[in-house]
Chain A
Amino acid sequence: MYGCFAPPYFPHTIIKQLHKGNLIANSCLSSLLRLFHRYRDLALQLVPMDYTNQPEVRLPYELIGSMPELKDNPFRQRIAEVFSEDGEGNMTLDDFLDMFSVLSEMAPQDLKAYYAFKIYDFNNDDFICKSDLEKTLNKLTCNELTEDEVRMVCEKVIDEADLDNDGRLSLEDFQHMIMRAPDFLRIKTI
């Protein structure tokens, strides 16, 4: 489809030329290259330098989840699943780039909110229902809360954020709620 990572151009030749011509001003391009290298470093034997032919390379979730950015994240599996094409956490280069793009600080709020919704929507039914909330809570607190407490928190969350009273959170409810969160605005990560 697109041979953006073709060998003669990419990365050495192009980058050198870009540097020569003072063209590297576009730091986005360089960070894209950096990401490509990070992706490749995860599994050097799997990922070729040549992406001209769009090889079907998928890195397994075990490799993705062991990256320092995700290693300690309770939702790492979920994040990988959401961004991967096959829904099982095995990522192509595209998926990988997508993930880092959304997790970046520069990504706009609503994009982040949308993906946050997808991440918390464990059963992929486009609604955050009680079972999703329970899973989220148990992941967040390492199962430290009792069942009663978890149930109560779930009820409270739905009671607070559910605008249309259908007992679960739609994307719109979620956005309405999360866009007002001080932490979400400040930290600017999902």
Chain B
Amino acid sequence: MPRHKLIASESDGKDNEFSLYYVEVEENSQGGQEKQTTRDGKRRRERNGEVSRRRASEKRTTEVDTKRAEKKHEKRHKTARKEGEKHEKRQRRKNADEEEAEEESNKEKKNIKNERTKTLRRDDEKEKDVKKKRKKHVKNEEDNANSGKTKQKDCHDMPLKEKKKKRKKPETTSESESKSESDSAPESKDNQAVGVLGSLTPEELEKLKEAVDERKKLIATMRGKPWPMKKKLVVLRSSCVLQRQETLLIISFLYYSNCQKWMKFQRDFENFKTACIPWEMKIKEIESHFGSSVASYFIFLRWMYGINMILFGLTFGLVMVPEALMGKPYGSIPRKTVPREEEASAMNFAILWDFGGYAKYSVLFYGYYNSQRAIGWLKFRLPLSYFLVGVGTVAYSYMVVIRTMARNANEEGGGDDTSFNFSWKTFTSWDYLIGNPETADNKFASITTSFKEAIVEEQESRKDDNIHLTRFLRVLANFLVLCCLAGSGYLIYFVVRRSQKFALLGLENYGWWERNEVNMVMSLLGMFCPMLFDVISTLENYHPRVALQWQLGRIFALFLGNLYTFIIALMDAIQLKRAEEEIVKKNMTIWQANLYNGTVPDNSTAPPITVHPADIPRGPCWETMVGQEFVRLIISDTMTTYITLLIGDFLRAVLVRFLNNCWCWDLEYGFPSYSEFDVSGNVLGLIFNQGMIWMGAFYAPCLPALNLLRLHVSMYLQCWAVMCCNVPQERVFKASGSNNFYMAMLLVILFLSTLPAIYTIVSIPPSFDCGPFSGKTRMFDVIQETLESDFPAWFGKMFSYASNPGLVLPFLLLLVLAIYYLQSTSKTYKRVNMELKKKLQTQNEENKKKNKLAALKAANELEQARKAGEQRSSSSQHTQNSEPPVSSTHTTTRPPASRGHTSSGHLPGHPQQPQKNSHSNRR
């Protein structure tokens, strides 16, 4: 009696798509014996530990209902492959004769992972495990009834892993029950398909398993082969039996489909992540059209935006908002009120635009803050907070800049393998997932740009001119630049001195030029010197990236002069204001005395006279003045940038574009042309702007907010301007992987700009009647005050001990030593790293050479062998052309690719034409 088992070969982890397999087995495997199979199907499923049977309610197709199927059984036995026997049942339909439906009987088998020790029990288990399932396509229940007595059953399954797992439980719990059930199943279940349990001996099971594995392997190997489907099927057919129903399934195994939802999710998630980075798409687009050097500016701008966001958060959250919410309201004390003489014009737009009037007496500037130690119901220590925020912004900036530099240096140190630079660019740069024309355009642009960058690199590395000439020219260029710098430095110094003299004598006596001399000289220098440097740098013949760095460094040095004049002017102004303050202080006492004397003479018990705060005389408050200066500077700088952008880039582009039609020469490629993006100028503008912020943020808490606004606008404006009115540079070069050069300049500026800020904080006494530190001799006294009144006594004592020079100096020494040690170790590591890299590179080259030599040798041998063969064949006609020795070495699973001149090469795609290929190789 034939029994069929449905065998599910559990997939091994590697090949989990291949989880399904059909084998039909006959009990007592009698080869060639014909069997009857029924067409009824039955599926059994067990769920959650109970053996339950479910009937698969088959869909009946009207076609088939009417037919009596004629059955044909075929069994093929593959002894060589030890395959389980299969039954193929063919069904012939009456109205469509050729149509054959197949049914297979299958066995599902649990993969035998039980240990050998359980062999006895395994039989039982298998009886229960093995479920008969019948997959029926064209049957109805009547058919089932008719054919129910036949003991064949047809099984079809899709083994699910879960199913298998669930099936484990009943094995142990209800052994006998399930056994009896399964035994009685075939006959007792009348209309349903009959599940017959076969009992197999362990050897047979082993055999089956092997067979299944065999076929699995076959399909798996077939899968990896680069053959077209037809060929795969032909090969499969030749090695094992394929049935029609199987074919579909096997094709689905042979294919790699994109059905992995997880992968798609990952991809979407990546997209989402990039979408979350602000302006990433804009920057990428610019990078693809203008190269990485322009993009590096925008990345720097974005980084700066992040920093300013933090600074803004600090000043806004800890200084401005508490003061606005909890401090005394506007108009309560003199420093919070517009003075009487300014009241009339305080709301004028011109005044407000200049940050005078109401803007001056607001939370935006230093002078507005009260020196009250704690404000509001929170007892917020505003002066302390103000001081700490001022210090904190600078400290945070240092930390961030240095940390970023260190991280970038790490990334740089890694380096990438560039041995196949061009090949990879050629063959792997296209992203095959691109499915939208805009992205595709960008991709084309970026590939072109990257090729151009790489070509420039290559050209630079190939260039070997007269080294002496180059050196001479470089020295000359540097000399010229130094002369330029020295000259402009002296000019600045001279002009500043002169203007100081003028200021002492009173500006009113001089004309417009004398008053604006410094500014004019500075802007003229700033306009023409960079051009001069640019011209000079063409002498040097540097790599464009290095040239950009030199250019940046030189303009930076020039701008330092700018900074110098600004600070000098500021210091002078502060001195003037302080002198004025002394006078006001004197007048104040006189005014007070007059006030009391005039109204209530000699009566100290009378209530103090209330004077409106606007009428009280007040000092000039130099801190607010400094803050105002910085704010004005930032505003005017921003305006200049935007206006030059609009006129220099946009207007020019518009003119060039539209006048080109009616002009006598080609404007687009001729003289004015479109402008290029000026990376160095923009980067320096950004850096100096940030320096101003750091310098002035202590006296004008609104500065980070203003800067944030400016950066935000310029990000959009410049992105737009670049994309619409600029053309890419002629030589697009690759920016260095990190922005460390920019960072280094930023660090210098940070240092330079914190110096004056710290100087004013530490050494100039604060104004007597404005700001959070009024009434103290120095601004940092607020720390002392807090220590004394807010902390316990022992803490103050400890602090004073800790700040003892005897402790601080050794600590500093220790720090310096640690830094020295760490630096020297890192240097050593770097050197070792470089050496290793060099070694690796030389080895690679050696290998390459060796390979080439070997190939040459092989080719020679081949040539000789062929000659010898020809000679031999000419001497005796029977001798065959011997196979070249080299070709026999390849024993990979895939058909080996031809290597060089060897004639091994039947290529995987065309194994049937080795002859032709070998000819073409030799050609």
Contacts and interface: CB of A to CB of B under 8 A. Distances in A.
A145 B451 contact: yes
Given A3-B244, A142-B448, A161 B423 contact: yes
Interface string A120-136: 10000110000001001
Given A28-B257, A52-B99, A72 B435 contact: yes
A41 interface: no
Interface stretch (B587-595, B774-782, B904-912): B904-912
A117 B917 CA distance: 16
Contact of A94 (B230, B425, B451, B452): B230
A104 B437 CA distance: 21
Given A97-B251, A98-B229, A144-B448, A170 B899 contact: yes
Given A29-B248, A170-B899, A8 B64 contact: yes
B158 interface: yes
B422 A160 contact: yes
B560 interface: no
Nearest to A24: B158
Given A69-B435, A105-B258, A170-B900, A111 B224 contact: yes
* Main secondary structure on A side of the interface with B: helix
Contacts of B421: 156, 160
A13 interface: yes
B58 interface: yes
Contacts of B99: 6, 8, 52
Nearest to B60: A13
Contacts of A165: 852, 855-856, 900
A73 B138 contact: no
A81 B254 CA distance: 21
Contact of A72 (B59, B425, B427, B437): B437
A142 B451 CA distance: 12
B256 interface: yes
A96 to B, nearest CB: 10
A36 to B, nearest CB: 10
B61 A26 contact: no
Given A17-B56, A164-B852, A75 B255 contact: no
Measured as residues with beta carbon below 8 angstroms from the partner, the interface class of chain B is: 35 or more
Contact of B455 (A136, A149, A181): A149
Given A8-B64, A163-B848, A183-B424, A17 B448 contact: no
B420 A161 contact: yes
B228 A175 contact: no
B431 to A, nearest CB: 6
Q: Which of B228, B233, B920: most chain A CB closer than 10 A? A: B228
Interface residues of A, number: 94
Nearest to A82: B909
B455 A153 contact: yes
A32 B255 contact: yes
B69 interface: no
Given A73-B430, A115-B226, A153-B455, A29 B894 contact: no
22 contacts: A2-B233, A6-B244, A17-B58, A17-B137, A18-B158, A21-B157, A23-B135, A26-B19, A28-B17, A32-B252, A32-B255, A35-B257, A97-B251, A105-B258, A126-B920, A126-B921, A136-B426, A140-B447, A165-B855, A175-B897, A181-B428, A187-B431
Closest 10 CB pairs of A and B: A23-B158, A164-B855, A164-B900, A171-B897, A72-B440, A31-B257, A189-B432, A4-B248, A106-B256, A165-B852
Interface of B: 17, 19-20, 43, 45, 56-59, 61, 63-64, 98-101, 133, 135-138, 156-160, 163, 224-226, 228-230, 233, 242, 244-245, 247-249, 251-260, 263, 416-417, 419-437, 439-440, 444, 447-448, 451-452, 454-455, 458, 848, 851-852, 855-856, 859, 894, 897-901, 905, 907-909, 917, 920-921
